[in-house]
Every structure is written in C-alpha cells, then in structure tokens.
Amino acid sequence: MKTSKEDILIVALKLFSERGFDAVSTSMIAEQLGITKGALYRHFKDKQDIFDSIIERMYELDRERAETDSVPVSDYEESPEEYESTDFKAFCEFTINQFDFWSGDEFAASFRRMLILEQFKSPEKMQLYQDMIVKGPVKYSENLFGEMIRKNMLNSKARGIGARRLAMELFSALSLALQLDDGGEDRERIREDLKVIVEEFRNRYSA
C-alpha cells in the first residue's frame, strides 16, 4: 500500500515523542514505515521539514476543533469579533473537550509529549511549547474572559478577579488533569473530576 504524507507524519511524531527529535533519523522513520529513504524524500526534503509539517498539522487540528466547538479560531488581534460572541458555557465545555483531545487523540497526545521533551533544546522550541501548550492557551482564555466581562456575561466576582486570573484558574485545572493522565491515573476519573471543577467554575462566575 502506498505511504502517504500523513502516514509519515504520524510515525515520525511517535518516534519524536518517544526518543526526541535529535535521536531520530530519517532512516529510522523510513524503516518504521517499511519504505526507502528515497520514497520518504519524495514527500519531505529533510527531517526538519517533517517536524515543521507536524506543527502545521497540529495548528490545523486546533482550528478544526475550535470551529466544531464554536469558540474563536483566529487570534484576538486578527478577529476580535469572534471573541465578543463566544458563550461562557460553550467555552467551559470546550475545556472538557480539550482534555479529551489532548489525552485521547493519538496525534495530539504524541505532539504534546514531543513538545515537553523538546522544550529545553532551543529557544525556538521553548517558544513553540509556550505558544501551543502554556502561554498561548492562557492568553486565548484571557482575551475571551475579557470580552465576557466587558459584555456583562460574567458576574461581579469575575470582574473583581480579572480576566487573566480567571484564565489561569481554569487552565490550571486542565493542565493538572493532563499531568495526572500522563502519570497513568484513571482517565475517566480524572475527566469526571475536571468536569465537576469546570462546572463549579461556571456556576461561580456566571452572571
């Protein structure tokens, strides 16, 4: 059966997430796929090209999920109107869905593991890790909560706390849930705990 670009990305990502980018060669990727290096190079010019394509694929998956869950797809600076119309309940539900995605989707879970491994290898990879796993999601949430406060979708307690701290509070719960999942705890139990925490968050700050 013909090997597709997607097949190469999946296998390469799995290897990168297990061994680290530097420890994996194009020969190893080709061997795992049962193809020649020449066949691999017909799709990608080198290992860095594969890595860059994995990142682009992850951004595509992020955009698809945002569209499905009716939350903003674009950055706030590009499309602030998307943030103005997002529902608080929908965003809370999106948080639960994010746990399902980052823990249960093989591509997403491997991508997250890869970035955790790679973050200290270079300033560029640290920036990528922060943009996609830490600072990026917090800033995204902060912008959303800022608009919700401005439009009186959240209560006075939320206004007193402020958008950034609301973002940190919600993201902390999601981040801890994913770390517990990394440690092998029962995923369904973690999900139920997170669901309760998010529901309490919504009840506490809804207008």
Strand stretches in the chain, DSSP E: none
Question: Quick one: pLDDT band at residue 2, thresholds 50, 70, 90?
Answer: confident
Distances (CA, A) of 79 to 71, 74, 200: 12, 6, 30
Domain layout of the chain by residue ranges: 1-68, 71-207
Which residue type is seen at 63?
R
What does the pLDDT look like over 81-114, one tens digit per residue? 989 989 999 999 999 999 999 999 999 999 999 9
pTM of the model: 0.92
Tens-digit pLDDT profile for residues 22-68: 999 999 999 999 999 999 999 999 999 999 999 999 999 999 999 99
Q: What length does the chain have?
A: 207
Instruction: Using CB atoms within 10 Å of the CB of residue 163, give its burial: 0 to 12 exposed, 13 to 18 middle, 19+ buried.
Output: buried
Distance CA 129, CA 156 (A): 34
> Would you say the CATH fold of 71-207 matches that of 1-68?
no
Instruction: Report residue 181 CA to chain centroid gap.
Output: 15
Kindly state the helix (H) or strand (E) to which residue 2 belongs, with its residue range. Answer: none
Q: C-alpha distances in angstroms, 113 versus 99, 170, 182, 189?
A: 14, 21, 9, 21
Please state which CATH number belongs to domain 1-68: 1.10.10.60
In terms of CATH architecture, what is 71-207? Orthogonal Bundle (1.10)
If one counts every other C-beta atom within 10 angstroms of the C-beta of residue 176, the result is 14
